[in-house]
A and B are shown apart, each in its own frame.
Chain A
Amino acid sequence: MFRPRPDAPGATIAVEVEGQTVMVPQGASAAAAVLLAGLAAIRETAISGSGRAPYCMMGVCFDCLAEIDGVPNRQSCMVPARTGMRIRRRRGARAIDPNNAPDDSPSFPIPEPRSGGA
Chain B
Amino acid sequence: MTEATKTPTVSQHDTETSLLSESRLVEESRRGRTTAYGELVRLYERRLVRVIGRFIGDAWQVEDLAQETFLRAYTRLGQFDTSRRFGPWLFRIGVNLTLDHLRKIKRRGRTALFSESPFERPPDPSVEDPRRDLDLKQEVREVLESVPEKYRTVLVLRDLENFSTAEIAGIMDRKEATIRWRLAEARQRFQKLWQKRLEQEGSSSGSGGRSEPLSLEERR
A and B co-occur in one complex: no
Q: A-side interface residues toward B, CB under 8 Å?
A: none
